[in-house]
Structure 1
């Protein structure tokens, strides 16, 4: 494997982050989301530019290729609330995390490096726990988070994916993650 690193995203990474986002969703979620929704994924570069500017995005690279990213930060109240709307005691120190690695670069440790690096930065900023939302049928993502010690916390939401319901589960876990291997 070529040199693999994780670093803070730079403004010049934004077009590749947007491409990885779009292409990965179109590949990984083809069975879960209607084709017209995936085809309609627009240009997300502006949204990514804002997240990069705020320092919320890490990128994984292998050699000269940007192969994945992680966006993380304080979890909004509505993301951390229990199903009944109440907030857990640690709501103020819970972070929202999303890791995405292009499928063709999967199983090379990029996701783990992204999550561990994000967890370290989140802990340094006072976060104590992380949460992520994943499609219920996405076993690849579920397995990834399970290997990191995260598990479903019983909270489910249903999104409208072009007229088709898309159930997501919330996974949660600690931020003391170690890189192995």
Structure 2
């Protein structure tokens, strides 16, 4: 665990570790909070999410990953889970930090730990997907060495009065 001092002189223990059973509640809370502030999602879409189902999927990802190379890691501020990342072979599946804990290095620590895990599992590149309009994530990933590589996909995210609304994600990648 590392000790860091913020600009206001407050010290905090911060670290990243593999997720353990019981972390699924915090991971679900962080993911839901991050989705609420995502430019393309927001409250209306997140209100449709079945939090119990999401929690159950995270519990399964932590306790019974689908295969080698799959992992969930969590960022800690003291004992509190304030962020998480999920990886699969060659992929960064998710990386979220609680909006109340952003701009404190948790995202960078999570990305570094995810890349370390991917390398240890033999990956020589990483891909991830970024929601259209998520400029903060684009800046973060760009400063970390990733960039858009062309492919995009549309995802259905919720019901509108006239049907399902979709959002576009763009693929980003980097060599490791």
Unaligned 5+ runs, structure 1: 75-93, 176-181
3-state SS of paired residue (2:76):
strand
CA contact (8 A) 1:97 1:130 kept: no
CA contact (8 A) 1:9 1:57 kept: yes
Unaligned 5+ runs, structure 2: 1-10, 159-163
2:49 and 2:168 map into 1 onto residues whose CA distance is 19
Taking only aligned residues, the RMSD between alpha carbons, in angstroms, comes to 1.5
CA contact (8 A) 2:148 2:170 kept: yes
Instruction: Look up the match of 1:169.
Output: 170
2:16 and 2:138 map into 1 onto residues whose CA distance is 22
In the alignment of these two chains, the number of paired residues is 154
1:18 and 1:33 map into 2 onto residues whose CA distance is 16
Scaled by the length of structure 1, what TM-score is found? 0.80
Change beyond 3 A, Cα 1:13–1:168: same
Q: 1:71 aligns with which of 73, 79, 86?
A: 86
Scaled by the length of structure 2, what TM-score is found? 0.82
CA contact (8 A) 2:73 2:86 kept: yes
What's the CA shift for 1:64?
2.4
Question: Which protein has greater RCO, CA pairs closer than 8 Å, 6+ apart?
Answer: 1
**Higher strand fraction (1 or 2):** 2
1:148 and 1:35 map into 2 onto residues whose CA distance is 29
What's the CA shift for 1:4?
0.6
Instruction: Look up the match of 1:122.
Output: 118
1:103 and 1:128 map into 2 onto residues whose CA distance is 31
Instruction: Look up the match of 1:48.
Output: 58
